[in-house]
């Protein structure tokens, strides 16, 4: 008598055999499914196979199972426990349940419901019984490793624009913290030169970044819901396609601008204002000297474009940033040496942005942040006296922050600064590009 079948996938990686038990199908009883295993593991893990094995529920102590060393020991144990017609030595019976020459396993469950997995391996034309170490998840004891307040994130949704060095890290971190609904927007393809700072790796080269990051999120949370759009919102696109994407983006609880692009920021600022959704954004300064982290919450902060005008105004008196900008995250010093932002430096800014985004989602009334805009230093450079020198920028009193002539700032002054910020992007002031 066979107690039932066990469905599993297995994977060989770095000389390690991993077996994931997906389903147990008792005879004349309801099946048990492990829905916590992501579909990507079931279907996409390299070299994996969907197989069937046999399981027996035994009314014996673990100590008897621990003594098993050979196939004959196992057969004798099953016969002793009245499993007389075992299929272990019958090729036809084995193939009838789905072994078909692939890896064969037997799952024994003792009287304390402890699982014990044995595999049959053919070595030199002799079938050997190999015991597989069991690793039991602690998921059924609760999510004790996730902060209690973060459990509410499961009901939140996030739209992320830009899946580069910052955006890829932000997406993966948010998934680990409990976010289960994402909208990822980027038209770029992942290339080998992106590996030095992106959360992706060589297995993703050639994929669109949104698809690759989506796959990583599915490996973290089997219940995640990810929508993607391959579109560059900062460039000329079909107006209908762009409007469709922006309308969809406006339905998410928070918008993350991880592009570092002023044109994209202008578009997302409009979405934030029209749909009354918070926008969080950051910028990693070239050379890794530090970065900007900011948010605009409807009814709590100035609108995003005005926030950027405040940022410009607050840094007008800052020392000139002398290094020559070469490209994103890189500058040249006075001697022509290339200075790049490291993965660690980009990561610090990205994860601080995650910190601010989580606070924005969970603590609208009682934020843990006394400001909504920060300059975070990672080197002694520009306005920063040392690494981790943090400079908050006051945004809730416009008259004190937007520097005009000695007269009091007016609405027209605010408009002028906004128009200048839109026209010139990040290039007009003395901050890094």
The tens digit of pLDDT for each residue in 254-287 reads 999 999 999 999 999 999 999 999 999 999 998 8
Q: Is 263 helix (H, G, I), strand (E, B) or coil?
A: helix
Distance (Å, rounded) from C-alpha 323 to C-alpha 59? 74
- Mean pLDDT (the chain) is 82
Which of 54-58, 127-131, 149-153 is predicted with the least confidence, judged by mean pLDDT? 127-131
State the DSSP code for 102.
S
**Which pTM was predicted?**
0.81
Angle between helix axes 304-314 and 411-424 (nearest 10 degrees) is: 90
Q: Residue 20: its pLDDT value, please?
A: 87
Who wins on pLDDT, 359 or 146? 359
pLDDT at 28: 81
Residue 310: CB atoms within 10 A of its CB come to: 28
* Parts of the chain belonging to CATH 3.40.50.720: 148-424
d(Cα 334, Cα 323) in Å, to the nearest integer? 7
DSSP secondary structure code for residue 83 in this structure: -
Contact residues for 105 (Cβ-Cβ < 8 A; gap 6+): 6, 8, 19, 51, 53, 54, 117, 118, 119, 120, 132
Beta bridge partners, 183, equal: 159, 227
Q: Distance between CA atoms of 341 and 348, rounded to whole angstroms? A: 11
Q: List pLDDT tens digits, range 159-218.
A: 999 999 999 999 999 999 999 999 999 999 999 999 999 999 999 999 999 999 999 999
CATH topology of domain 148-424: Rossmann fold (3.40.50)
Average pLDDT over residues 65-77: 88
What is the band of 138 on the pLDDT scale with cuts at 50, 70, 90?
Answer: low
> What percentage of the chain has pLDDT greater than the value 90?
48
Structure confidence at residue 70 (pLDDT): 86
Do 190 and 207 meet the contact criterion of CB atoms below 8 Å apart? yes
Task: Report the pLDDT value the prediction gives residue 123, as an integer from 0 to 100.
Answer: 65
What number is the average pLDDT over the span 341-363?
96
Which stretches within 364-410 are classed as H helix?
398-401
């Amino acid at each position: 008598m066979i107690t039932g079948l066990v469905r599993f996938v297995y994977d060989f990686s770095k000389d390690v055999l991993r077996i994931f038990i997906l389903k147990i199908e008792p005879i004349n009883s309801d099946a048990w499914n492990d829905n916590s295993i992501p579909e990507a593991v079931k279907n996409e893990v390299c070299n994996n196979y969907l197989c069937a094995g046999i399981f027996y529920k035994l009314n014996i102590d673990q100590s008897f199972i621990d003594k098993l060393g050979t196939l004959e020991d196992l057969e004798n144990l099953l016969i002793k426990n009245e499993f007389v017609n075992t299929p272990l030595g019958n090729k036809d019976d084995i193939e009838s349940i789905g072994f078909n020459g692939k890896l064969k396993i037997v799952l024994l469950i003792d009287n304390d419901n402890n699982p014990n997995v044995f595999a049959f391996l053919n070595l030199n034309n002799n079938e050997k019984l190999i015991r597989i170490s069991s690793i039991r998840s602690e998921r059924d004891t609760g999510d004790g490793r996730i902060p209690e307040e973060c459990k509410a994130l499961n009901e939140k949704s996030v739209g992320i624009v830009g899946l580069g060095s910052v955006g890829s890290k932000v997406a993966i971190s948010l998934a680990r913290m409990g976010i289960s609904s994402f909208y990822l927007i980027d038209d770029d393809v992942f290339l080998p030169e992106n590996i030095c700072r992106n959360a992706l790796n060589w297995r993703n080269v050639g994929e669109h970044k949104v698809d690759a990051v989506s796959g990583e999120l599915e490996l973290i949370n089997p219940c995640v819901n990810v929508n993607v759009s391959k579109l560059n919102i900062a460039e000329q696109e079909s107006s209908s396609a762009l409007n469709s994407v922006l309308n969809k983006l406006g339905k998410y609880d928070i918008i993350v601008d991880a592009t570092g692009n002023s044109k994209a920021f202008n578009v997302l600022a409009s979405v934030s204002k029209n749909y009354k959704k918070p926008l969080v954004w950051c910028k990693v300064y070239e050379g890794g000297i530090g970065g900007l982290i900011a948010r605009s919450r409807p009814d709590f902060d100035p609108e995003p474009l005005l926030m950027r005008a405040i940022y410009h105004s607050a840094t007008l008196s800052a020392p000139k940033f002398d290094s020559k900008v070469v490209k994103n995250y890189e500058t040249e010093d006075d001697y022509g040496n290339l200075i790049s932002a490291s993965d660690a430096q980009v990561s610090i800014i990205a994860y601080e942005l995650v910190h601010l985004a989580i606070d924005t989602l969970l603590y609208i009334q009682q934020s843990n942040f006394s400001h909504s805009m920060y300059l975070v230093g990672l080197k002694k450079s520009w306005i920063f006296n040392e690494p981790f020198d943090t400079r908050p920028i006051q945004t809730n009193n416009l008259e004190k922050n937007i520097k005009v002539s000695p007269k009091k700032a007016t609405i027209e002054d605010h408009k002028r600064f906004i128009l200048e910020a839109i026209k010139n992007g990040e290039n007009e002031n003395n901050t890094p590009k």
